[in-house]
Amino acid sequence: MGGLTKANLKARAGARSYERGLGYLDAVSGVEVGDGWATATVHGTDRYEVALTLDGPGGPAGRCDCPYGMEGNFCKHLVALGLTLLAQRSSLPRQRKAARDRAHDLDAWLSALSKDELLTLVREQIGEDRRLRRRLELRAAGARGDVAGIRAKVRELLDVRPFARYGYVEYADARAFADQAGQAVSAIGALTGSGRATVAIELTREAMRLLAEVATSVDDSDGGLGQVAVDLADAHLEACRAARPDPEELAHWLFGQALRDLDTGLTDIDPLDYRDVLGDAGMTTLRKLVVEAWRGNRTGWAEKYLMERLAKTAGDIDTVIAVHAADLTPNGHTHLVIARELESAGRPDEALNWAERGLRETPDLATVDTALVDHLCERYARAGRLPDAVALRRSHFSARRSLLAYQQLRATARDTDCWSAEREGALTLLRADAERQQPGGWYGGSVLVDALLDDRDATAAWQAATETGAHDKQWLTLADQVRADRPADALAVYLRLAEPLTAQTGNAVYEQLVVLLLSIRDCHRRLDTPDAFTTYVTALRASLRRKRNLMRLMDEHGL
């Protein structure tokens, strides 16, 4: 249980859920502890079942069937279970042993039952658990070779209607539907293992169609249904390898399925995974279908993807280039893709030509793919063309005027020992933008202030902020940077930023306010005016005394 601590629980749940979990410690019951896991019932608005993994790679993880937990959150009920386990740390080894003993006793009891007694027990469970009944019905149908029965059960398991409220499967019900759909995949896969692969091919295709029809009606945030689709595609490939269907028919089906899949992203079937099944005849048919489709729609995403995959598999770099060149994006991104393909193929001169063409064919350099600029600058530097790299960075900065473009210009210009001159020109452009009140930096602030802060030129940044304005986030950074040398200026900023927070509520606000108060205290210490701070914080505590969480946080920091 080394990964379970109060700090980890708070980090995992967040301050709000953690503090709310403190109020549910008396509501935890039925705790069961195993090796690395624990379950319990927590009574809140309703009765919730919680399960906690104690030593996960990212700290504690868990599952709760409360509404907040069903959305994938680490809720207050999980916090309550975690804190309960920490409080019972000394007794956990005994509880683990008790859980193992119970499992052993249950297994021994079951082993001692007669066949008739076991059948009676199973029949009772079948009557109470519909999911168990369906799983056993599928196994029975498979064992007796009842293909019609399996087909009917597969259709039933992929029927979304019992889970759909108002025609849609909500997140809370999606997991149960995905589990049920997974049973259909298992049943189909079992057909291949029992020598009925041809039937399995037919059923996987029908299941894919049914799954595609309902996929848009399911909230698959957890990806459970997506995994079912992937498993279904794997089952189809396995069945095809066992049954060896007609290669030309298979090629036509794979082509159509791949086009649909690439649009929906459901089963993610790759026709090239079937090369060993298709053979020469099937691959010839597949190539013909893909080429005809691409020629009929050279800008279609699915058609381009399939054509590129076939060309790459064949090592046909010129066809790969032709596929991309037929649908060039206006920001130079496709030119960059082509350049990288040509470089990988050992054709650097052509690669450079395509990259430079991407710049020329971008109508507005402010919209160019930054990765293309980075690519070209790297190639220029590698070829000893540093002035060309600086010129490109300068042009890109002039068009975009962002902090990132400024940083990139600075890095490249420093490599050629010309940053002093480049900086002056760049700051002139940013100063003109700031004077026109043209934001574009962090949080909508002035890029000029951002750039000067990034240069660690606090004096110039403060002057720019004073003359042309700055965002509060920038003022805070400025105050932090000048506090040691200009505590009075920094104090004025901190006091102004703290004032609106005193009228707000919430733990996040309180944390911000305390950070500012600590900075205010430091400024008064530097100014040798501790009494002024004492007067200020005393008045603040008196006016905000009803905010108990704030008071506690201030106490923790000695404020």
* Residue 439, pLDDT above cutoff 60: no
In percent, how much of the chain has pLDDT > 90?
51
Which residues are within 8 A (CB) of 135 and not within 5 positions of it... i.e. 6 or more apart?
Answer: 183
Indicate the pLDDT class of residue 327, thresholds 50, 70 and 90.
very high
Arithmetic mean of pLDDT over the chain? 88
Across 138-147, 231-240, 548-557, least confident range: 138-147
In this predicted model, which residue has the larger pLDDT, 122 or 354? 354
One domain for residues 506 and 550: yes
Could you tell me if 462 and 488 lie in one domain?
no
Same domain, 98 and 13: yes
Asked if residue 406 is part of any domain, the answer here is yes
Residue 56 predicted with pLDDT over 70: no
**534 and 490 within one domain:** yes
Read off the pLDDT band of 437 (50, 70, 90). confident
Is residue 251 included in any domain, yes or no?
no
Quick one: 21 and 44 in the same domain? yes
Q: Does 545 map to a domain?
A: yes
User: pLDDT at residue 52 above 60?
Assistant: yes
pLDDT bucket at 5, cuts 50 / 70 / 90 = confident
In a domain, 215, yes or no: no
Domain check: are 13 and 106 in the same one? yes
Is 461 inside any structural domain?
yes
Cβ-Cβ contacts under 8 Å for 509 (sequence gap 6 or more):
501
Tell me, yes or no, whether 274 lies in a domain.
no
HEC string for 19-70: HHHHHHHHHEEEEEECCCEEEEEEECCCEEEEEEECCCCCCCEEEECCHHHH
Domain limit, last residue, from 83, 112, 141: 112
Task: Tell me which residue has tokens 């709000």.
Answer: 16
* Most confident option among 54-68, 163-177, 323-337: 323-337
Question: End of a domain among 59, 92, 112?
Answer: 112
Looking at residue 499, its pLDDT comes to 94
Average pLDDT over residues 203-230: 87
- Can you tell me whether residue 165 is helix, strand or coil? strand
Pair (513, 538) in one structural domain: yes
- Reported as a single tens digit per residue, the pLDDT across 345-400 is 999 999 999 999 999 999 999 999 999 999 999 999 999 999 999 999 999 999 99
Report the pLDDT averaged over residues 73-81: 89
With CA atoms as reference, report the closest residue to 339 among 365, 369, 304: 369
**Radius of gyration from C-alpha coordinates of the chain:** 33
- Rounded distance between C-alpha atoms, residue 461 and residue 451, angstroms: 8
**Other residues' Cβ atoms within 10 Å of the Cβ of residue 401:** 21
pLDDT > 60? residue 50: yes
Q: What percent of the chain has pLDDT over 70?
A: 96
Same domain, 443 and 499: no
Confidence bin at 72 (pLDDT 50/70/90): confident
**Interval 452-490: pLDDT, tens:** 999 999 999 999 999 988 899 999 999 999 999 999 999
Average pLDDT, integer, range 220-232? 85
Answer yes or no: do 457 and 510 share one domain: no
Which band of pLDDT confidence, cut at 50, 70 and 90, is reported for residue 194? Answer: confident
Structural domain contains residue 140: no
Query: Region 323-327: what's the mean pLDDT?
Result: 94
Higher pLDDT, 366 or 145: 366
pLDDT reading at 174 higher than 70: yes
Task: Give the pLDDT confidence score for residue 452 in this predicted structure.
Answer: 95
Q: What is the pLDDT of residue 3?
A: 66
State the pLDDT at residue 445: 75
Top-confidence residue, 376 or 155: 376
The answer to whether residue 496 sits within a structural domain is yes
Provide the pLDDT for residue 538: 94
Considering the domain architecture, whether residues 34 and 108 belong to the same structural domain is answered as: yes
Q: Tell me what pLDDT residue 465 has.
A: 92
User: Alpha helix locations (H) across 348-446?
Assistant: 348-360, 370-382, 386-400, 403-415, 419-435
Whether residue 11 is found in the same domain as residue 106: yes
Q: How far apart are CA 63 and CA 40, in angstroms?
A: 11
Least confident interval from 94-103, 141-150, 228-237, 531-540:
141-150
Mark whether 448 and 528 lie in a shared domain. no
pLDDT of residue 262: 67
Return the C-alpha torsion angle 454, 457, 460, 462, nearest 10: 70
* Residue-range definition of the domain harbouring residue 19: 6-112
Among 92, 112, 132, residue at a domain's last position: 112
Domain count within the chain? 3
Contacts of 432 (CB under 8 A, 6+ apart): none
